[in-house]
Structure 1
């Protein structure tokens, strides 16, 4: 019997030890939106993961050591947003050299992929069918990124960095309402895979709130990575099991869902790397803002929007005009992002020009303080900017999964890490690798299935070994080489607008960091209507924005930010969401009063 089949059968037989009833569960650690102190800080969406990061810092580890340990722990407690079956981007500030560097852990398409990866009979396959399939699984980048980060800047070995997450997976953690909801929302597709059903639907139902959830298969997988390094995945047994799950998804016999297999191979895993890239950079209000360059569109789009806003004193504007200009800058930068940004190994991406103040000024003059632009707005030409000019047809913003996660760390030496990681959709592809305890991504759905605008070159079509465009926006802000602020968020394409809104709220409007994070959000992405949270729509400014021509649709939640900032006295503040996704978890090594 194949190992994957044996693992699935054993998991089905061992359901009871995976979940302990609430009566026997440990009490959930507190979720705190703010922590101030010395010795280093950590902010993530999960208290267990944040505490693991603090423990690493307390024992002498640096920001990268802690970031990898936190990320691995989030693979245990936040597995529907991130994990070793996905990818991400890491931005690192080195206090000794005052240099910002980035690592690209984005997933890649198989070598066999072409522009018609998601096309059948001349038409794009339904998006939902692409999501829940082996076809959408890219080569995971997260483990290789962990390795590269530790090699370049860490002091821990991978063995030592993964040990706390292995222990957490083995002893378990307390199920909260968010974890329960995420399983509930995905129960129908989770139930169609033998391995996923066995892990997340014990006794046919999601783990109840307050119970203790354990993942011994993931603990064993982490132990294998600790012993053999990331070769366990990219060249070894873990990788063989991953490839088998992609090429022959473990569908429950009799399930009616059409689950397309993928064409990922062992060679695709062997050839994967997480390269170091030069960050995107703009000057804003005398500060240096660093983000991810392509294939992420986060750094270029946040950067362009900041450049568009640079010539307006947002701090002096009325609340309505501030929000109007924020929405318009977002609209214009997304028009350019959709047309120009893709994997630079396959497309000629004008990164430098997109981040130029000259190009931003040519776009900013389109903003009218008395009325909103009408979307979709056509892009500009960053290589030949014409004041108030546009170039070509508008390109739509494709849907991206919103369930990513972000963590932010600073250490006692002043090093900082902003790390966004994901498996794309909530629950990724829905496929748990049998016997391995982690979900596979569906990141390849971030590609355009067909050209967004007929007759217009699309830099984001699939291709062999290509990285799909991302919106992840881990960001670090410096003042004369010293860290001021670092942040990031989940949220698919709304990550960009979320980071932009928090940056302008903090830097321009003078909001305290936690207040800037908690503020009601809106996300304009060159669409006819702007997504907005209920609290935003209930504010008096919303009607004034409607009077300017803005149109809105309601969105339950936009983003989930974590951030850190340096205080004038040398201490650090960690900040997280007070309520979104159940609230985040900020921690300090040596807490003190704000």
Structure 2
């Protein structure tokens, strides 16, 4: 089995952690601030900060910190992410990149053994898979530049949840069971998430005093508490000498205190394109999400989708995605290491040429990358594409979105990579370390091979959409490479098909990523919609799984806001507003 196939086999959507005693609603409308997450506690944490006068940035960090407690298998301070911020006063969008980086010891052959790729599964749960975490530094940059509250204030709700605990839900139990073998490899992980080697029973109150301690230290000392001193030493020790159970051996990593002390977040210019009168702002490299979505929207803009039969319009959405993925796979990587042809890929003229390769009547075959360089307006010597190949990212991430009464907006996606990341809980501090290094290509030549200090390519796509210069809606999702198609399909559902955002999110999802088969969710195959697409040549992947878990906020024309989370996937998401419209 190839690495890509193994990644795809591992792929599933984020866990929904539901306190058994609390009801939740996936849609809420009203005035003032709004929040949508997949965790009731996380949404409540954000709302508590908004109610105390904090802004959207403060509230987003509070929600994210709480998700690190209630949703530890998909996110936390042991990982990294991408935060998009709209500042109402300045009328501008900012991208905060706090993606993990490769330690300084890494070389392009770090995952090569005797001329062959290292075993992917063995690499997945090891110290060698851990990238330098960026989340805490990202939170620091967001708060210090754009927030109004201190770490101590915004981490307080999460400390409360970690200290008092939360009830293990069916989904949390299921994810623990799916990760049982990985967790059993490490004594610190077994001690926190298992009992006698088995997943905690549904209804068990899970407390995490170690994470509460980590948050208290960060609250007292700021980001230095994480990147220097005892927490940093504990991370380095866990990577270099993983806390394995008796008789277990895993590959060690080579992270140093200097790697942590030297980590920097980046403030980047967002990707911007236009679509049917909207301004679409997306995450730039090293995330491929904003570029791929922008290119696909440019391709679709040449068709009047709302006048077409549904099957024909969905066919065009999937073919646009196919072409965008071919280009994404060939060209995109960390912009500090690769001079990717971003301007060319986002050119409307390039889209017009690329559109000639779309067959409006039939599903196309796997396609090669296009040539965006003539559309670059760049006199430098171009880097021509490598052979395109499909890479299925792990799908274990979370997305949240927050707005405040002043009109500031945050769309935030962050992760520790696969479910449970590396599987290594940092002893004494209760958080899992990422396995983000597996997002690199194990061999080259390829723009996304590992290099010292490099950030692995991502598909995360927090998106903020404006109309007439004002926020219209936000949307984002977890799901590895399916993040791109989930966000793209939701935009098409909402803008082209005129669906209210809750229906746009709850509609069946299809994900075509330049492969022979298309991913479809359980129950889709055999439906009238599926049969109509099969007549156009589509084939469905044999294993059907839920795709993504989106969250969104819509800014209505009457001045109200509508927060929207999932209504079916993973149970029910949590949407809250400060003042209900009812």
Range of TM-score over shorter length: over 0.9
| Structure 2 equivalent of residue 563 of structure 1 | 552
In the alignment, the residues of structure 2 paired with residue 79 and residue 471 of structure 1 have an alpha-carbon distance, to the nearest angstrom, of 20
Is this contact kept in 2: 1:95–1:414, CA < 8 A?
Answer: yes
What is the Cα deviation at residue 299 of structure 1? 0.5
In the alignment, the residues of structure 2 paired with residue 535 and residue 417 of structure 1 have an alpha-carbon distance, to the nearest angstrom, of 33
| Structure 2 equivalent of residue 64 of structure 1 | 57
Q: Secondary structure of 1:587's partner? A: strand
Q: Deviations over 1:213-268 (max 9, x none)?
A: 1101110111111111111111121010000000010111113xx41100111111
1:275 partnered with 2:263 = no
1:220 partnered with 2:208 = no
1:586 partnered with 2:575 = yes
Is this contact kept in 1: 2:133–2:434, CA < 8 A?
Answer: yes
Q: Secondary structure of 2:333's partner? A: coil
Deviates more, 1:114-123 or 1:413-422: 114-123
| Structure 2 equivalent of residue 435 of structure 1 | 428
What is the Cα deviation at residue 536 of structure 1? 2.8
Is this contact kept in 2: 1:308–1:361, CA < 8 A?
Answer: yes
Q: Deviations over 1:519-558 (max 9, x none)?
A: 1111111111111112332331212222222221142110
Is this contact kept in 2: 1:490–1:561, CA < 8 A?
Answer: yes
1:262 partnered with 2:253 = yes
Alignment of 1:155-304 (within 5 A): 155-255=148-248, 258-304=249-295
Q: Secondary structure of 1:537's partner? A: coil
Is this contact kept in 2: 1:295–1:470, CA < 8 A?
Answer: yes
| Structure 1 equivalent of residue 503 of structure 2 | 515
Alignment of 1:96-495 (within 5 A): 96-255=89-248, 258-375=249-366, 377-384=367-374, 394-451=387-444, 457-495=445-483
Which of 23, 26, 44 aligns to 1:33? It is 26
| Structure 1 equivalent of residue 491 of structure 2 | 503
Q: Deviations over 1:151-194 (max 9, x none)?
A: 11100111111111111100011211111111110011101101
Q: What RMSD over aligned residues (CA atoms) do the two structures have, in Å? A: 1.4
What is the Cα deviation at residue 363 of structure 1? 1.1
What is the Cα deviation at residue 353 of structure 1? 1.4
| Structure 2 equivalent of residue 45 of structure 1 | 38
In the alignment, the residues of structure 1 paired with residue 554 and residue 330 of structure 2 have an alpha-carbon distance, to the nearest angstrom, of 34
Is this contact kept in 2: 1:39–1:57, CA < 8 A?
Answer: no
In the alignment, the residues of structure 2 paired with residue 538 and residue 506 of structure 1 have an alpha-carbon distance, to the nearest angstrom, of 25
Q: Secondary structure of 1:409's partner? A: strand
Residues 368 and 27 of structure 1, relative CA distance in 2, 3 Å threshold: closer
In the alignment, the residues of structure 1 paired with residue 182 and residue 90 of structure 2 have an alpha-carbon distance, to the nearest angstrom, of 48
What is the Cα deviation at residue 426 of structure 1? 0.5
Is this contact kept in 2: 1:220–1:436, CA < 8 A?
Answer: yes
1:549 partnered with 2:542 = no
What is the Cα deviation at residue 392 of structure 1? 6.2
- The alignment of Structure 1 onto Structure 2 pairs a total of residues equal to 557
In the alignment, the residues of structure 1 paired with residue 81 and residue 229 of structure 2 have an alpha-carbon distance, to the nearest angstrom, of 22
In the alignment, the residues of structure 2 paired with residue 41 and residue 326 of structure 1 have an alpha-carbon distance, to the nearest angstrom, of 30
Is this contact kept in 1: 2:343–2:375, CA < 8 A?
Answer: no
Q: Secondary structure of 1:245's partner? A: helix
Q: Deviations over 1:485-532 (max 9, x none)?
A: 101000000000000000000011001111110111111111111111
In the alignment, the residues of structure 1 paired with residue 157 and residue 390 of structure 2 have an alpha-carbon distance, to the nearest angstrom, of 39
What is the Cα deviation at residue 28 of structure 1? 2.9
Q: Secondary structure of 1:293's partner? A: coil
Q: Secondary structure of 1:89's partner? A: strand
In the alignment, the residues of structure 2 paired with residue 27 and residue 489 of structure 1 have an alpha-carbon distance, to the nearest angstrom, of 24
Is this contact kept in 2: 1:335–1:394, CA < 8 A?
Answer: no
The two structures have a TM-score, normalised by structure 1, of: 0.92
Residues 34 and 250 of structure 1, relative CA distance in 2, 3 Å threshold: same
In the alignment, the residues of structure 1 paired with residue 439 and residue 365 of structure 2 have an alpha-carbon distance, to the nearest angstrom, of 25
Q: Secondary structure of 1:368's partner? A: coil
Q: Deviations over 1:359-378 (max 9, x none)?
A: 11111111111211101x10
Deviates more, 1:393-402 or 1:96-105: 393-402
Is this contact kept in 2: 1:378–1:393, CA < 8 A?
Answer: no
In the alignment, the residues of structure 2 paired with residue 278 and residue 536 of structure 1 have an alpha-carbon distance, to the nearest angstrom, of 38
In the alignment, the residues of structure 2 paired with residue 113 and residue 147 of structure 1 have an alpha-carbon distance, to the nearest angstrom, of 26
Is this contact kept in 1: 2:93–2:270, CA < 8 A?
Answer: yes
In the alignment, the residues of structure 2 paired with residue 245 and residue 534 of structure 1 have an alpha-carbon distance, to the nearest angstrom, of 39
The two structures have a TM-score, normalised by structure 2, of: 0.94
Instruction: Note the residue ranges of structure 1 that are not aligned, 5 or more in a row.
Output: 1-24, 452-456
